[in-house]
A and B are shown apart, each in its own frame.
Chain A
């Protein structure tokens, strides 16, 4: 069974400060890992994905995430927060084995950016 834990349901950062959103996963097989972003009243959009290639993954809007197998983590970072980054962020895991491609999402972390 696969699961995702996102530490912190709400994170606040100042504009220009580092953004760090934490995600730890549990998976019985090598996972695929994703970060999605949800803006108010919208669906989820893919930020970036890890599919067993490079462990440091770059996504859209200046975000990146690093897969650390030893720590079972896939934390999302951005060097400098922008007001437009305020949204809810979801980490997700998938076990692409035996034809199963279901995504399991974390509870989400709401990011606030303070001017």
Chain B
């Protein structure tokens, strides 16, 4: 089993749609969780951290369920510019700051 698993995608949605990505992780001791965004042939960039209480940043909402070892990202009112690959990322416990990356889910928002 991969340490971080994501929906395989790709997701093709019309502008204005709501889309949800899911991610599961295998190490219950993991402490920190993130969603990164990667545009085609570009480097990854942090989209948002994921907190236990859930957090929202504009049209983006991230949720964490530690009991189920599950992370989600919800994008509301999709824009063309949201088209990218979304990477679920988990940081190890304690002093282990190595990031474990999911393979990513590709999103295409169509006009």
- Tell me, yes or no, whether A binds B: no
Measured CB to CB, the residues of B under 8 A from A are: none
Measured CB to CB, the residues of A under 8 A from B are: none
